[in-house]
Chain A
Amino acid sequence: MQTNEIMRAENVTMRFGGFTALNDVSVSFPVGQLTAIIGPNGAGKSTLFNVLSGAFPPSEGRIIFEGTDITGTPQHAFAHKGIAKSFQITNVFPELSALENVRIAIQAMESQFDIWTPRNKLKEMVERANELLELVGLNKHRERLASNLAHGEQRALEIALALACNPRLLLLDEPTAGMSPEETVVMMDLITHLASERTVILVEHKMKLVMGISNHLIVLHHGEFLAEGTPDEIRTNDEVRRVYLGQGDH
């Protein structure tokens, strides 16, 4: 067992009714690395992502973050622990400006129940929100409503929302889903940049996309752990090739 891990899933099983989406999966995520969870459709990637990010607790097994058991911790506590996520389906505050989107995400770390301070006194939050918008390349669109942004821009905004809690661990669920090739390139650059400063766990369906940027890969198949290793090891792994070949070239 690695000591320099940030998160660990121990014997995680997830059942929905009679269907077992994850079966006894144990994986460890090294700190400071970009780990990608890959696998063909129905491999259980998103289920594992949801369990790791606290959307629901696993039926069995434990999630350890920085040495503490966080299984069953309520969703809203994750951000405060330093774990942030972006959703597979774009998930922003549609009728608020891009700036207010990010500002409100920053505010979650500082003030939830303050019913008295006027909002225009929150200048520091606005400054930080502007910095984050610049980081994800949205500084030109800060006054626009999130619902009026292009799909790729909304995904970038969502990354900014996730970064607002200053996470040590960033979880991304198919961040390039539905993006044009141009948008995908921009997003991949952004993720590489983010991964240089914090640990990132990425769920991705398209294997080719993550080969170039990740340090560590975990392959799932039919809800079970199949393989893990560096991109080179995975590329030459016979079992992985067999599984992916059955699905066509991704």
Chain B
Amino acid sequence: MSDIPMSNGDDTQVSGRKLAGLAKSVARHRVVAVLAFLFVFPLIIPYEALAVNILIFGLFAMGFNMVFGYMGVLSFGHAAFFGIGSYATGIAMVHFGIPWLPAIIIGVVAAGVIAMIMGGMAIRSRGIYFAMVTLALAQCVYYLVYQMSDWSGGEDGLTGVGAGDINLGFVQFSLFDPTAKYYFMFVFVAIAIFFFSRILNSPFGAVLEAIRENENRAQACGYNVLLTKWYAFVISGLFCGLAGALNALHLSVVPIESLHYHLSGQAVMMSLLGGMGTFFGPFVGAMAFLLLEDIITTMTTHWPLFLGIIFIIFVLFFPKGIWGSVLHWVKR
């Protein structure tokens, strides 16, 4: 009814509408949009190592966001999936001489197995208890790996993971070339993003939203909420495991910090910073977090202080996060 465009153009109105239109088509073709952006991303970022970091941690935060943003369950143990993905990939390559591709798959599967176990133990608890149980279990994994120093390198981390030259038959490149490394990672992240979007857009994705909105009602409607939560936890763990596996190849080492709860906290911060429960949010959050860290640490050693302040500002004034606020503003 009111959709008829005004004939003598009100400029702000028109540009506002164009922007809203743009945002809508971005939302509709979210996979294409995010991939297009990440494809040109290295051109606008100061150096590629940071771009690769953003790619990997964006993927990590995205996987985390399935449970946190879409299903509304706060986990404080996602470092375990990232770290186990890293270590399993690294151990497969260093100790067993397994090539990089099967090693990545081993990393993802190992993270999935850990998620099955942790999920099975934690999923019955709710709210803050769930956060605490996952935190405790993840710390158990941390100390377990820390103690197995013959396999994991203990405190020094696992060194010598480098894949070096990669030969795909039709193309050959070295992971020491930063641009090649970025696009190598990009392929994996792109595949992950496609699957992620597909899952969110499925009937299963709708159930996650239903559980976030009202767990009791979802149950009364006939959904097996516990089982759904467990599945989501495991799927989320697979994505985070892939991020970890890629990080092992990126750094050529697996630092023990990959399993530390700091990393679980970072996933929460990145999600909140970018916008929980939005598709782009985790990538925007990872970008904001890592860029700020990069810039601020060159000026001062007190980065955590600034991070704290930024975090408080966001929680108080922009609870929807950067991307969430943009979406909200555009919809208005």
Residues of A within 8 A of B209 (CB): 93, 96, 104
Residues of A within 8 A of B202 (CB): 114-119
Residues of B within 8 A of A143 (CB): none
Residues of A within 8 A of B147 (CB): none
A112: which of B199, B213, B223 is its contact (CB, 8 Å)?
A: B223
Q: Is B149 an interface residue (CB 8 A)?
A: no
Interface size on A, residues (CB 8 A): 39
Residues of A within 8 A of B203 (CB): 107, 110-112, 114, 117, 119, 122
A115: which of B199, B222, B224 is its contact (CB, 8 Å)?
A: B199
Q: Is B13 an interface residue (CB 8 A)?
A: no
Least CB distance, B185 to chain A, in whole angstroms:
24
Q: Is A79 an interface residue (CB 8 A)?
A: yes
B221: which of A111, A115, A161 is its contact (CB, 8 Å)?
A: A161
Residues of B within 8 A of A110 (CB): 203
Least CB distance, B234 to chain A, in whole angstroms:
11
Q: Is A109 an interface residue (CB 8 A)?
A: yes
With A and B bound together, what is the CA distance between A100 and B209 in angstroms? 10
Q: Is A95 an interface residue (CB 8 A)?
A: yes
Least CB distance, A116 to chain B, in whole angstroms:
6
A104 and B206 form a contact (CB under 8 A): yes
Within 8 A of A (CB), among B188-240: 198-199, 201-207, 209-210, 213-214, 216-225, 227-228, 231, 235
Q: Is A229 an interface residue (CB 8 A)?
A: no
B221 and A79 form a contact (CB under 8 A): yes
With A and B bound together, what is the CA distance between A162 and B222 in angstroms? 10
B207 and A164 form a contact (CB under 8 A): no
Residues of B within 8 A of A91 (CB): 214, 216-217, 220
Residues of B within 8 A of A94 (CB): 213-214
Within 8 A of B (CB), among A71-107: 74-80, 84-85, 87, 91-96, 100, 103-105, 107
A108 and B214 form a contact (CB under 8 A): no
B214 and A118 form a contact (CB under 8 A): no
With A and B bound together, what is the CA distance between A117 and B200 in angstroms? 10
Residues of B within 8 A of A118 (CB): 198, 201-202
Least CB distance, A72 to chain B, in whole angstroms:
15
Within 8 A of B (CB), among A194-237: none
Q: Is A113 an interface residue (CB 8 A)?
A: yes
The residue on A at minimum CB distance from B211 is A93
A76 and B206 form a contact (CB under 8 A): no
Residues of A within 8 A of B223 (CB): 76, 108, 112
Residues of A within 8 A of B206 (CB): 100, 103-104, 107, 119
A108 and B222 form a contact (CB under 8 A): yes
Residues of A within 8 A of B210 (CB): 93, 96, 104
With A and B bound together, what is the CA distance between A108 and B207 in angstroms? 8
With A and B bound together, what is the CA distance between A105 and B222 in angstroms? 8
Q: Contact string, A25-49, partner B, CB cutoff 8 A, digits 1/0?
A: 0000000000000000000000000
Given contacts A112-B204, A119-B205, is CB(A79)–CB(B222) below 8 Å?
yes
Q: Contact string, A151-169, partner B, CB cutoff 8 A, digits 1/0?
A: 0000000000110110000
Least CB distance, A118 to chain B, in whole angstroms:
5
Least CB distance, A141 to chain B, in whole angstroms:
17
A104 and B221 form a contact (CB under 8 A): yes
Residues of B within 8 A of A164 (CB): 221
With A and B bound together, what is the CA distance between A77 and B238 in angstroms? 29
Least CB distance, A240 to chain B, in whole angstroms:
31
The residue on B at minimum CB distance from A79 is B222
Least CB distance, B202 to chain A, in whole angstroms:
5
With A and B bound together, what is the CA distance between A108 and B231 in angstroms? 16
Given contacts A93-B214, A95-B213, A96-B213, is CB(A113)–CB(B204) below 8 Å?
yes
A-B contact pairs, 30 of them (CB 8 A): A53-B220, A75-B220, A76-B219, A76-B224, A79-B221, A80-B222, A87-B217, A91-B216, A91-B220, A93-B213, A94-B214, A95-B213, A96-B209, A96-B210, A104-B218, A107-B206, A108-B223, A109-B222, A110-B203, A112-B224, A113-B231, A114-B204, A115-B198, A115-B205, A115-B235, A117-B203, A119-B202, A119-B203, A119-B205, A122-B203
Q: Which residues of A contact B (CB under 8 A)?
A: 53, 74-80, 84-85, 87, 91-96, 100, 103-105, 107-119, 122, 161-162, 164-165
Instruction: Given A76-B225, A87-B220, A112-B204, output 8 extra A-B contacts at Cβ < 8 Å.
Output: A78-B222, A104-B206, A108-B218, A108-B221, A114-B202, A115-B235, A116-B198, A119-B201
Q: Which residues of B contact A (CB under 8 A)?
A: 198-199, 201-207, 209-210, 213-214, 216-225, 227-228, 231, 235
